[in-house]
């Protein structure tokens, strides 16, 4: 596997693990810890050469569907000083899921391009 992809997957495994840990004070902490924990595990497995096209593709679709489902009714940004706290929280959650979906899709593409 190319070195750049290994570094990418290691960095994202650490980022997703950090995101999972930072959810401890969230009202729905278990949901977010599991979602980011799965992404961290997949990233770590990818780092160690355990690359699965269908798993990363399916996870990418699931994360994207969740992001669309959670998208706020009215966009008010991600800064708490800008508007309704509930809309801002949903915007942040959706953007996190979009990033996670994007990474999963990249893993699927990398799997197809690397032997």
pLDDT over threshold 60, residue 114: no
Residue 59 has pLDDT above 90, yes or no: yes
- What domain range is 101 assigned to? 3-113
Q: How far is CA 33 from the centre of its chain?
A: 11
Angle, to 10 degrees, between the axis of helix 29-47 and the axis of helix 85-113?
A: 20
| pTM tops 0.85, yes or no | yes
CB 72 within 8 A of CB 38: no
Kindly report the average pLDDT of the chain as a whole number. Answer: 89
The pLDDT, as a whole number, for residue 97 is 97
Number of folded domains in the chain? 1
């Amino acid at each position: 596997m190319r070195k750049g992809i290994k570094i990418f997957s290691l960095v994202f495994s650490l980022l997703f693990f950090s995101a999972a840990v930072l959810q401890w004070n969230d009202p729905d902490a278990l949901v977010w810890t599991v979602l980011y924990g799965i992404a961290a595990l997949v990233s770590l497995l990818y780092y160690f050469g355990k690359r699965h096209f269908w798993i990363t593709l399916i996870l990418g679709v699931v994360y994207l569907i969740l992001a669309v489902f959670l998208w706020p009714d009215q966009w008010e940004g991600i800064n708490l000083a800008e508007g309704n706290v509930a809309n801002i929280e949903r915007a942040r959650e959706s953007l996190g899921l979009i990033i996670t979906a994007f990474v999963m899709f990249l893993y699927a593409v990398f799997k197809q391009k690397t032997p």
